[in-house]
Amino acid sequence: QQQVKQSPQSLIVQKGGIPIINCAYENTAFDYFPWYQQFPGKGPALLIAIRPDVSEKKEGRFTISFNKSAKQFSLHIMDSQPGDSATYFCAANRNAGKSTFGDGTTLTVKP
Protein backbone atom coordinates (compact mmCIF):
# COMPACT_ATOMS: atom_id res chain seq x y z
CA GLN A 1 0.00 0.00 0.00
CA GLN A 2 1.53 3.25 -1.17
CA GLN A 3 0.74 5.90 1.41
CA VAL A 4 2.36 8.84 -0.42
CA LYS A 5 1.69 9.34 -4.12
CA GLN A 6 3.92 11.73 -6.04
CA SER A 7 3.47 13.26 -9.48
CA PRO A 8 4.64 13.84 -12.12
CA GLN A 9 7.27 11.14 -12.54
CA SER A 10 9.41 13.49 -14.63
CA LEU A 11 9.35 17.17 -15.47
CA ILE A 12 11.22 19.36 -17.94
CA VAL A 13 11.22 23.17 -17.66
CA GLN A 14 13.19 26.04 -19.11
CA LYS A 15 15.55 28.07 -16.96
CA GLY A 16 13.54 30.60 -14.97
CA GLY A 17 10.40 28.45 -15.03
CA ILE A 18 8.47 27.32 -11.95
CA PRO A 19 8.27 23.53 -11.73
CA ILE A 20 5.55 22.20 -9.43
CA ILE A 21 5.66 18.73 -7.89
CA ASN A 22 2.60 17.31 -6.18
CA CYS A 23 2.10 14.74 -3.44
CA ALA A 24 -0.95 13.20 -1.83
CA TYR A 25 -1.08 11.20 1.38
CA GLU A 26 -3.62 8.90 3.00
CA ASN A 27 -2.71 8.62 6.67
CA THR A 28 -3.99 11.63 8.62
CA ALA A 29 -1.67 10.70 11.50
CA PHE A 30 1.32 12.08 9.58
CA ASP A 31 2.55 15.24 11.30
CA TYR A 32 5.58 16.37 9.31
CA PHE A 33 6.11 16.69 5.57
CA PRO A 34 9.68 17.19 4.29
CA TRP A 35 11.01 17.43 0.75
CA TYR A 36 14.36 16.02 -0.28
CA GLN A 37 16.64 16.63 -3.27
CA GLN A 38 18.86 13.85 -4.58
CA PHE A 39 21.64 14.08 -7.14
CA PRO A 40 22.93 10.94 -8.92
CA GLY A 41 25.23 8.91 -6.69
CA LYS A 42 24.38 10.95 -3.60
CA GLY A 43 22.08 10.53 -0.64
CA PRO A 44 18.89 12.63 -0.38
CA ALA A 45 19.34 16.09 1.15
CA LEU A 46 16.65 17.92 3.09
CA LEU A 47 15.27 20.96 1.25
CA ILE A 48 12.32 22.26 3.21
CA ALA A 49 9.62 20.88 5.49
CA ILE A 50 6.16 21.84 6.75
CA ARG A 51 3.72 20.92 9.48
CA PRO A 52 0.03 20.29 8.64
CA ASP A 53 -1.15 23.34 10.59
CA VAL A 54 0.65 25.67 8.15
CA SER A 55 -0.66 26.32 4.63
CA GLU A 56 2.53 27.65 3.07
CA LYS A 57 6.23 27.86 3.82
CA LYS A 58 8.99 29.59 1.85
CA GLU A 59 12.72 29.10 2.09
CA GLY A 60 14.72 30.86 -0.57
CA ARG A 61 13.45 29.77 -3.99
CA PHE A 62 11.55 26.78 -2.56
CA THR A 63 7.91 26.97 -1.43
CA ILE A 64 5.66 24.27 0.01
CA SER A 65 1.91 24.64 -0.30
CA PHE A 66 -0.15 22.44 2.01
CA ASN A 67 -3.86 21.57 1.77
CA LYS A 68 -4.81 19.60 4.88
CA SER A 69 -8.44 18.96 3.90
CA ALA A 70 -7.39 17.55 0.53
CA LYS A 71 -4.43 15.70 2.04
CA GLN A 72 -2.16 17.16 -0.61
CA PHE A 73 1.02 19.20 -0.65
CA SER A 74 3.26 20.55 -3.35
CA LEU A 75 6.74 21.93 -3.95
CA HIS A 76 7.30 24.99 -6.12
CA ILE A 77 10.77 26.01 -7.29
CA MET A 78 10.95 29.67 -8.23
CA ASP A 79 13.35 30.91 -10.93
CA SER A 80 14.59 27.38 -11.58
CA GLN A 81 18.21 26.91 -12.63
CA PRO A 82 20.04 24.09 -14.44
CA GLY A 83 21.71 23.28 -11.11
CA ASP A 84 18.26 22.37 -9.74
CA SER A 85 18.17 19.38 -12.09
CA ALA A 86 17.83 16.44 -9.71
CA THR A 87 15.31 13.95 -8.33
CA TYR A 88 12.91 15.33 -5.75
CA PHE A 89 11.14 13.24 -3.13
CA CYS A 90 8.27 14.20 -0.90
CA ALA A 91 7.93 12.38 2.41
CA ALA A 92 5.55 12.08 5.32
CA ASN A 93 6.59 11.41 8.89
CA ARG A 94 4.80 10.59 12.13
CA ASN A 95 6.18 11.19 15.61
CA ALA A 96 9.78 11.31 14.32
CA GLY A 97 9.48 7.66 13.37
CA LYS A 98 9.61 6.13 9.92
CA SER A 99 9.36 8.40 6.94
CA THR A 100 7.27 7.30 3.97
CA PHE A 101 8.58 8.56 0.64
CA GLY A 102 6.99 9.19 -2.72
CA ASP A 103 8.49 7.56 -5.79
CA GLY A 104 10.32 10.72 -6.83
CA THR A 105 10.18 13.29 -9.63
CA THR A 106 13.10 13.72 -11.98
CA LEU A 107 13.42 17.42 -12.81
CA THR A 108 15.40 18.69 -15.78
CA VAL A 109 15.93 22.44 -16.11
CA LYS A 110 17.11 23.39 -19.60
CA PRO A 111 19.44 26.39 -20.02
Partner 1 sequence: DAGVTQSPTHLIKTRGQQVTLRCSPKSGHDTVSWYQQALGQGPQFIFQYYEEEERQRGNFPDRFSGHQFPNYSSELNVNALLLGDSALYLCASNPRTSGRAGELFFGEGSRLTVL
Shortest CB 63 distance to partner 1, Å: 17
Site map 16..35 versus partner 1, x via CB under 8 A: ---------------xx-x-
Q: Does 96 bind partner 1 (CB under 8 A)?
A: yes
Q: Does 40 bind partner 1 (CB under 8 A)?
A: no
Q: Does 74 bind partner 1 (CB under 8 A)?
A: no
Three-state helix/strand/coil letters over the chain:
CCCEEEECCEEEEECCCCCEEEEEECCCCCCEEEEEEECCCCCCEEEEEECCCCCEEEECCEEEEEECCCCEEEEEECCCCHHHCEEEEEEEECCCCCEEECCCEEEEEEC
* Chain residues in the site for partner 1 (CB under 8 A): 6, 31-32, 34, 36, 41-46, 49, 89, 91, 93, 96-104
